[in-house]
Structure formats: structure tokens, C-alpha cells
């Protein structure tokens, strides 16, 4: 068996994380709820590059201060719903590390990031449409703070934490 792939996510302030987790617990199918709410920056980095991924994330996090983010609304995923996250600094952070790893990214991870939090997935289109209408009225806090990066090992079920790296060191 090969080395498990890595996932890199954004970490956010506690109030925002708590609100996003509550939405995910409410709307996500319970049998599929294996990880908390998150903004994925990279979905499947080669696990053999773990030391480089952690070092690069540490370098970028150390030279980046915490920054504000905004939740602009919700969008349909067809069979789910996501919160739309806007943070120009996040797009810049993603681009910086994406350039470092250009030679071994998957096609999905080569793309510019479209920050979002999936609060529902893998449901019927009808259920997703109904959820979208409810969440358009109230999707929780509209502002939060990005606090760092987290590296995870994808092992098929819940992710295993590798390292959390705070912005500003």
C-alpha cells in the first residue's frame, strides 16, 4: 500500500469554526460526516512529500498574518450546498504554495482555489435545493478570521492530523 495522500485546509477563528461545524452537523448526511467543516486548499497531495508540504506551509504561514474572510452567501453543488468564502489573501496564499508544488499536483489541485465550505453533500437534488433556500435566509456569521493552515493525512475515513501552522508563526 502506498503513502496516504495529504489534504491542506484553512484554519479559522473558533467562533467561525463552531458555526460552520453546527451547519455541517445539521445538513450533512450523518453517515457521511467524517470530518468537521473546512475550506480545502489542496485535496490530494502526494504523501511522499509530507516533509516538504509541512515545511512549505510553515514558511507561508510564518510570513502571513491572520486575515479577515467573508461569507458572501451560499451556492448549489447540485447534490449539496456550500458557503461561499471570499478572502483575497487566501487566494494569494494558495497561489504561493501551488507554485511550489506545481510538479506533483493533481488536475483538481492545479486549479485556482474557489474557497467554500461544504455544509451538505451527497443528497438528492431536491433535498439540496430545499436546503439552499433555507440557508439563503440564514447561513451564519458573515465574517471571520483566517488563522492558519492545517495538514491532514487522508486515510479513507476521518482525516489524521499532521500539523497545524498558525499565521504569523
* Statement: residue 169 has pLDDT above 70: no
Average pLDDT over residues 94-110: 93
pLDDT digits (tens, 9 = 90+) for 12-51: 999 999 999 999 999 999 999 999 999 999 999 999 999 9
Residue 22 lies in a domain: yes
For 112, the domain range is 6-67+89-116+145-166
Output the CA torsion sign for 73, 10, 21, 108. positive
**pLDDT tens for each residue of 123-160:** 999 999 999 999 999 999 899 999 999 999 999 888 99
Judged against a pLDDT cut of 70, whether residue 7 lies above it is answered with yes
* b/e sequence 122-157, b meaning 16+ C-beta within 10 Å: ebeeeebeebbeebeeebbeeebbbbbbbbbebeee
Residue 16 inside a domain? The answer is: yes
d(CA 11, CA 93): 13
pTM for this entry: 0.95
The proportion of the chain whose per-residue pLDDT surpasses 90, expressed as a percent, equals: 94
pLDDT of residue 1: 52
Helix (H/G/I), strand (E/B), else coil: 103: helix
Q: How many domains does the chain have?
A: 1
How sure is the predictor about 6, in pLDDT bands with cuts at 50, 70 and 90?
Answer: very high
d(CA 147, CA 42): 17
Domain assignment of residue 82, yes or no: no
Residues near 89 by beta carbon (within 8 Å), at least 6 away in sequence? 64, 67, 146
Amino acid at each position: 500500500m502506498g503513502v496516504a495522500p495529504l489534504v491542506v485546509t484553512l484554519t479559522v477563528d473558533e467562533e467561525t469554526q463552531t458555526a460552520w461545524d453546527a451547519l455541517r452537523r445539521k445538513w450533512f448526511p450523518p453517515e457521511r460526516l467524517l470530518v468537521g467543516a473546512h475550506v480545502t486548499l489542496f485535496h490530494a497531495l502526494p504523501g511522499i512529500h509530507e516533509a516538504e508540504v509541512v515545511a512549505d506551509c510553515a514558511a507561508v504561514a510564518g510570513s502571513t498574518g491572520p486575515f479577515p474572510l467573508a461569507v458572501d452567501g451560499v451556492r448549489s453543488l447540485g447534490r449539496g450546498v456550500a458557503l461561499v468564502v471570499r478572502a483575497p489573501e487566501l487566494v494569494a496564499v494558495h497561489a504561493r504554495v501551488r507554485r511550489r508544488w506545481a510538479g506533483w499536483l493533481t488536475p483538481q489541485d492545479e486549479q485556482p482555489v474557489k474557497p467554500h465550505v461544504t455544509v451538505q453533500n451527497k443528497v438528492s437534488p431536491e433535498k439540496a435545493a430545499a436546503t439552499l433556500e433555507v440557508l439563503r435566509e440564514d447561513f451564519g456569521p458573515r465574517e471571520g478570521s483566517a488563522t492558519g493552515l492545517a495538514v491532514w493525512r487522508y486515510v479513507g475515513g476521518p482525516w489524521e492530523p499532521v500539523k497545524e501552522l498558525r499565521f504569523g508563526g
